Amino acid sequence: MKKLLASAAVILLALPTSVFAHRLDEYLEATILSVEHDHVEGSMRLVPGVAVSAPVIASIDTNGDGVLSEAERQTYAKRVVSDLVLSVDGQPLTLRLVSADSPSIEQMKQGMGEIHLYFAADLPAGNVNRRIVFENHHQSGIAVYLVNTIVPRDRNIQITGQNRNENQSFYELNLVQQHGGTRRTLWPNLSGFAGAFRLGARHISEGTDHLMFLLALLLPAPFIAHGGRWGVRAGGRRSLLRILRIVTAFTVGHSLTLALATLRFVTLPSRLVEVLIAVSILVSAMHAIRPLFPGREAVFAAFFGLIHGLAFATALSNLGFGGWYRIISLLGFNLGIETMQLTVVAAALPSLLILSSTRSYSVLRISGALFAGLAAVGWILERLLNLHSAIDIVVNSVACHALLIAVALFGISLFCWFASAFSTPKGTAQSTLEPPRSISKRVLSFADRAD
């Protein structure tokens, strides 16, 4: 089992540096848990950055002689384990240190040293539905945490959900454990569905590339291509129908491959999938500037939705759900994705429709497309050539203020619409002296006139 845990740790942490690279001023503490029928085992990999190596070394080399004795290594390992909390169904478990090894002081000073330790705890008998909680409080001032669970080898144990706090110092694992010699069918329950739903909603909310593809594709939806340009407004009702077709096509596409990949009927290399997702964003951004496939946006959304669904499936498959829980988690995960996706579209839709009736909309369409296109180019280079860039930092910084941006955009759209309405020249169908009616009536009015 120790070899298995070590292998899992290597798989998790020896990924490309663009994914798990830690800063020099952080103490990376990654934990891999393994649940067996009567015990829990854990493997930890602790990697101090150069800037924080001094306090870590001082906490190990207690006599300050510049040499880490075996007694000092063991004492520090026990201190780490004492800072861990593991419980099952609210009952604390006693952790015992199995083994530990530490690098030399010089290696840690260079940021190359890795401390490895293994711990275990007995798992008492309990109910079929179980809740395991793991907390890591070691060096919380300088530490960054990672935690995951490998897929149980015991087929009587099925993972039904996982939850983490923001910095992963708290980790909750929900599972079903059948007892006795006869293995019974593991039927789904609402806790597994709810956990998968939350995971799907969080995945799409944090998946800025997925939302950027959809929003970039929606930017030109209120217009009809004419003469190789976006110049004729489609009208309110037609715009709504086009947006509905695009969102529905994307949903159908990614739902299909999400199901097929989760059930292991389809698979593609993850790097290829990530590159194709970035390509889809670039193409949709180019289309928002100049029409590339006017009138066929739904077909394009469905096609690349198939690719995005494979990325969704990767996030779900890594949880190790099996049996009926794979089905129920698939439904919950997909529903979470759709709920968050529709929430984002619904939040952006009023601004798109209102602002598209003004001349200012071209500014939003082109600037939004340029931002998405530049982000896509950065992601393509990053994912295809392993070139490091700051694109994730920039995009995530913008995404962190999504609510504020949405509110500001709505306010700007109302301002531009009123300014446009009151600047209508005399003699047109709508007099500039007419007092403004309710927003809903005005929206219907300009939508009907445009149609």
What is the DSSP secondary-structure string of 315-378?
HHHTT---THHHHHHHHHHHHHHHHHHHHHHHHHHHHHHHHTTSTTHHHHHHHHHHHHHHHHHH
Tell whether 204 and 119 lie within a shared domain: no
> Looking at the domain assignment, is residue 286 inside a domain?
yes
pLDDT-based confidence at residue 169 (cuts at 50, 70, 90): very high
Q: In which band, very low, low, confident or very high, does the pLDDT at 385 lie, cut at 50, 70 and 90?
A: confident
Q: What's this model's pTM, rounded to 2 decimal places?
A: 0.59
- Whether 254 has a pLDDT exceeding 70, the answer reads yes
pLDDT computed for residue 295 by the predictor:
87
At residue 227 the predicted structure's pLDDT band, cuts being 50, 70 and 90, is confident
Q: Which residue has the tokens 């927003």?
A: 439
Q: What percent of the chain has pLDDT over 90?
A: 32
Residue recorded with tokens 């083994």: 99
Q: For residue 117, what pLDDT band results from cuts at 50, 70 and 90?
A: very high
Nearest to 354 by CA among 212, 218, 236: 236
Burial of 155 (0-12, 13-18, 19+ CB in 10 A): exposed
- Domain membership of residue 193 (yes or no) is no
Domain C-terminal end among 132, 156, 186: 186
Question: Has residue 268 got a pLDDT over 60?
Answer: yes
CA pair distance 373, 288, nearest whole angstrom: 10
Same domain, 243 and 349: yes
Residues 294 and 375 placed together within one structural domain of the fold: yes
- Comparing CA positions, the residue from 338, 252, 239 lying closest to residue 300 is 252
Mean pLDDT over residues 56-63, rounded?
91
- Range with the poorest average pLDDT among 50-59, 115-124, 174-183: 174-183
Range 110-126 average pLDDT: 88
* Total number of domains in the chain: 2
Looking at the fold, whether 117 and 248 belong to one and the same domain comes out as no
* Buried residues in 92-128 as b, exposed as e (16+ CB within 10 A): ebebeebebebbebeebeeeebbbbbbbbbebeeeee
Q: What range defines the domain where residue 271 resides?
A: 198-450
Q: Which of 160, 186, 212 is the last residue of a domain?
A: 186
Same domain? 237 vs 291? yes
Place of tokens 């504020």: 404
Q: What pLDDT, on a 0 to 100 scale, did the predictor assign at position 361? A: 87
The contacts of residue 217 (CB under 8 Å, 6+ apart) are: 246, 250, 284, 287, 288, 297, 300, 301
- Are 227 and 173 contained in the same domain? no
* One domain for residues 239 and 133: no
Q: Which of 20-24, 114-118, 237-241, 386-390 has the lowest mean pLDDT?
A: 20-24
Average pLDDT taken over every residue of the chain: 80
Residue 44 lies in a domain: yes
Put residue 427 in one of left, alpha, beta given phi > 0 → left and psi -120 to 50 → alpha: left
Same-domain pairing of 55 and 133: yes
Residue 191 inside a domain? The answer is no
The whole-number pLDDT of residue 249 equals: 94
Please indicate, yes or no, if residue 192 is contained in any of the structural domains: no
Whether residues 414 and 278 fall in one domain: yes
* pLDDT interval class at 353 (50, 70, 90): confident
HSE-up of residue 107 (Cα within 13 Å, Cβ side): 11
CA pair distance 252, 38, nearest whole angstrom: 43
Lowest mean pLDDT among 73-82, 216-225, 386-395: 386-395
Asked if residue 249 and residue 157 are part of one domain, the reply reads no
Is 104 a member of any domain?
yes
Domain end, chosen from 155, 186, 217, is at 186
- DSSP 8-class letter at 429: S
Report residue 106: phi and psi, to 5°: -65, -40
User: In this predicted structure, what is the pLDDT of residue 23?
Assistant: 54
The per-residue pLDDT for 5 is: 42
In this structure, is residue 271 part of a structural domain? yes
Using the predicted structure, report yes or no on whether residue 49 has a pLDDT greater than 80: yes
